[in-house]
Amino acid sequence: MNICGTSTPASKRYQRRVMVTMSIYLVVVLAAAWIVKHAHPHGWLLYTIAVVPALPILGMLGALGIYLTEEKDEYIRLITMRSLLVGTAVLLALLMVNDFLRSLSGAAAIPPFVSWVVFFLVFGLAQAVQQMRNRVNDDA
Amino acid sequence: MRNRLRELRAERGWSQQYLAEKLEVSRQSVNAIETGKFDPSLPLAFKIARLFGKMIDNVFDDEFEREA
């Protein structure tokens, strides 16, 4: 993912970190699914195996945090932070509405992992919108 | 905050990309400052003023002061 469509030294480092965490995630999630299916662990071991695939994903959040501290371009940093706020706000709104729907009307819970996808989609969309609003002319 | 960045850049015949490289920021940043969508931090504002050999208040103009 190219942060804000502009390649800065910090965004290149961020991309490398995301590639590493995503690679680890793929290996870990496949391994965890295989172990749960074939070894049938239970108790604390099952809980541990279930949590392990989340760690590389949490690492992506950490990579975003590191990126924000490393990014020297203050405008790029600002639009990244704005986009993170938009993503967080939309996710919280979605979860809150779903909580009320579940509590008062017996609606189903949001399926697993959808909230994470929503967050990153809105984050990316918010970045794209800000980029479009600040389009640069080629002759400038 | 208003600024004369585009005007000063045009006087020198510099492109946004060239100015961005001089300032060590992205071209998006230069464009956002020129169009008034983004006010730079004080260190960046000083850097811009120094690059053009101007005082900071010759480059950036606070609208409140202009109206007063």
Q: Say whether residue B1 is in contact with chain A using an 8 A CB cutoff.
A: no
Q: Which residue of A has its CA nearest to B18?
A: A140
Which residues does B49 contact at the CB level (< 8 Å), separation at least 6?
B55, B56, B58, B59, B60
- Kindly give the interhelix angle for B42-51 and B16-23, rounded to the nearest 10 degrees: 120
Q: Do B38 and A73 make contact, defined as CB atoms within 8 angstroms? A: no
- What is the rounded end-to-end Cα distance, in angstroms, of chain B? 14
B10 touches chain A (CB under 8 A): no
Residue B64's pLDDT band (boundaries 50, 70, 90)?
A: low
Does A106 or B66 have the greater pLDDT score? A106
Distances (CA, A) of A104 to A2, A91, A95, A96, A100: 41, 20, 14, 12, 6
CB A112: neighbour CB atoms within 10 A? 7
Please state which CATH number belongs to domain B2-67. 1.10.260.40
**Closest residue of B to A8, CA-based?**
B26
- Amino acid type, A57: I
> What pLDDT is recorded for position A134?
85
Least confident among A1-5, A35-39, A44-48, A80-84: A1-5
- The domain limits of chain B are 2-67
Q: Inter-chain contact B29–A4, Cβ cutoff 8 Å?
A: no
pLDDT digits (tens, 9 = 90+) for A2-14: 555 578 899 999 9
Q: State percent of chain A over pLDDT 70.
A: 94
A103, with CB counted inside 10 A (0-12, 13-18, 19+), is: exposed
